[in-house]
């Protein structure tokens, strides 16, 4: 099977400089969601019909994607016609789908295709039954056979009473489709070429065209505005959250929890309100992610507690506690039982087992040994204006408050640095290092 994805529309009601299909529906471009769903059918080629700002779509999908260009917006039939060179010598089936229905499920497409094959049909349309079908194309049938699709503006009063509507997904035999496309015209209210005219052409040739009606009509919700984009994103978010809860995750308030599709969470982990989990984040079991936390592309192990913090592209091992108001920047690695407290920032640093940094600290380009204690206000001064340098701190080191470690510098195991020191030279193991001005006391100064 090949697919044709209609993605050339300008989406003027979106009021955006971006093509409609690249807008994010719950964290993924709509067109990517369509392709992901089609992958369930083992499609051998997805052919995209591009037009308005096609380069923006190619930035998302890559330049090696199969596509054709619709230079003028002359209707859905005209759009599909542009793909004829890619299917004219093909003997298989072709599925046609709109690029702006991101709620379509993989299983729906599987069932749709299987029904088409089981009925030995020449064509099939996906449909739904609406109590109020206003503005949708009506499916006109004779028994189980679809005769035609009539658009709202061209329907007579009797046809407008039909509640089965066209969902905008079709399967045809490639050669039947190519021949029918050559016959469609634009003799209609809009002066456009409709892909739906293919159905009437095939029906008039005694071809068997059938419909497959959806149980959940929300799956075909199109996106033509930012309001509808928010609507489908909400549905996708609810699907993800429901799936997680069914797998044993505790969501205190699913309505205020944002979790991307690719996020994985272990059972008995609790996610509090106003948490955002994005990208390829993985969280283990029995952890707590408290309100105000955002985690992006990170791996969090078991029994971790994170409060009101931001974590990016980092690894957090078992038993770690973070926050509130900590920031783990990319390539941070916190090993077992590390504690990172309020207003601590790490970047490209490894903290070995049991390290504690409780307050107001910056640890960048650093390696810190087991059970070391980092005092409040400590800074690894890793940048000289041109280059970044590394700070190496050994095991069981005690670093006093307000210490500046000017990299490159090494602090040996079991050493102690006095509060307020500026360390510019390596500190030997088992030593005390203090660098500060002499305290001056002038008695009676304020008399």
Q: Write the pLDDT tens digit of every residue in 60-74.
A: 999 889 999 999 989
Banded pLDDT at 152 (limits 50, 70, 90): confident
Q: Write the pLDDT tens digit of every residue in 277-309.
A: 999 999 999 999 999 999 999 999 999 999 999
329 is in an annotated binding site: yes
For the chain, residues classed under CATH 3.90.550.10 are 2-220
76 is in an annotated binding site: yes
Which residue from 303, 248, 256 is spatially nearest to 277, judged by alpha carbons? 256
The confidence score (pLDDT) of residue 208 equals 97
Residues identified as active-site: 359
Q: Phi, psi at residue 353, to the nearest 5°?
A: -55, 135
382 is in an annotated binding site: yes
Q: Write the pLDDT tens digit of every residue in 80-114.
A: 999 999 999 999 999 999 999 999 999 999 999 99
The confidence score (pLDDT) of residue 285 equals 99
The confidence score (pLDDT) of residue 153 equals 86
Q: Would you say residue 267 has pLDDT above 90?
A: yes
63 is in an annotated binding site: no
342 is in an annotated binding site: no
| pTM, 2 dp | 0.92
The confidence score (pLDDT) of residue 134 equals 84
175 is in an annotated binding site: no
For the chain, residues classed under CATH 2.160.10.10 are 226-433
269 is in an annotated binding site: no
268 is in an annotated binding site: no
Q: Write the pLDDT tens digit of every residue in 391-421.
A: 999 999 999 999 999 999 999 999 999 999 9
The confidence score (pLDDT) of residue 437 equals 85
Banded pLDDT at 11 (limits 50, 70, 90): confident
Architecture of the domain made up of 226-433: 3 Solenoid (2.160)
Q: What is the CATH number of domain 2-220?
A: 3.90.550.10
């Amino acid at each position: 099977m090949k697919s044709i994805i209609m993605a050339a529309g300008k989406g003027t009601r979106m009021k955006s400089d971006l093509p409609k299909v690249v807008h994010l529906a719950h964290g993924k471009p709509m067109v990517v969601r369509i392709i992901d769903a089609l992958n369930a059918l083992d499609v051998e080629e997805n052919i995209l019909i591009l037009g308005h700002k096609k380069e923006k779509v190619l930035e998302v999908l890559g330049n090696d994607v199969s596509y054709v260009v619709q230079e003028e917006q002359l209707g859905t039939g005209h759009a599909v016609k542009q793909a004829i060179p890619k299917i004219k010598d093909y003997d298989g089936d072709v599925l046609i789908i709109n690029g702006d229905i991101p709620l379509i499920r993989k299983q729906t497409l599987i069932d749709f295709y299987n029904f088409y094959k089981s009925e030995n049909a020449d064509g099939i349309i996906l449909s739904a039954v609406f109590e109020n079908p206003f503005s949708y194309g009506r499916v006109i049938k004779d028994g189980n056979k679809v005769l035609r699709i009539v658009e709202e503006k061209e329907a007579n009063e009797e046809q407008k009473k039909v509640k089965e509507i066209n969902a905008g997904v079709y399967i045809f035999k490639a050669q039947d489709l190519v021949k029918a496309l050559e016959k469609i015209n634009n003799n209609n209210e809009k002066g456009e070429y409709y892909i739906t005219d293919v159905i009437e052409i095939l029906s008039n040739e005694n071809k068997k065209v059938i419909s497959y009606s959806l149980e959940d009509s929300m799956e075909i919700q199109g996106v033509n505005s930012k309001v509808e984009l928010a609507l489908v994103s909400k549905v996708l978010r609810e699907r993800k959250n429901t799936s997680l809860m069914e797998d044993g995750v505790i969501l205190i308030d699913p309505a205020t929890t944002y979790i991307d599709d690719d996020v994985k969470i272990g059972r008995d982990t609790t996610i509090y309100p106003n948490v955002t989990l994005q990208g390829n984040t993985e969280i283990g079991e029995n952890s707590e992610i408290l309100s105000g936390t955002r985690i992006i592309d990170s791996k969090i192990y078991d029994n971790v507690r994170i409060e009101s913090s931001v974590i990016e592209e980092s690894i957090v091992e078992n038993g770690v506690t973070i926050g509130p108001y900590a920031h783990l920047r990319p390539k941070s690695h916190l090993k077992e039982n590390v504690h990172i407290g309020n207003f601590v920032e790490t970047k490209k640093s490894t903290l070995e087992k049991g390290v504690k940094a409780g307050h107001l600290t910056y640890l960048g380009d650093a390696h810190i040994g087991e059970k070391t204690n980092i005092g409040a206000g400590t800074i690894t001064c890793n940048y000289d204006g041109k280059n970044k340098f590394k700070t190496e701190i050994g095991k069981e080191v005690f670093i006093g408050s307000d210490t500046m470690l000017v990299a490159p510098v090494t602090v040996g195991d079991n050493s102690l640095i006095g509060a307020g020191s500026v360390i510019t030279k390596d500190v030997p193991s088992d030593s005390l290092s203090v660098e500060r001005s002499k305290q001056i006391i002038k008695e009676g100064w304020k008399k």
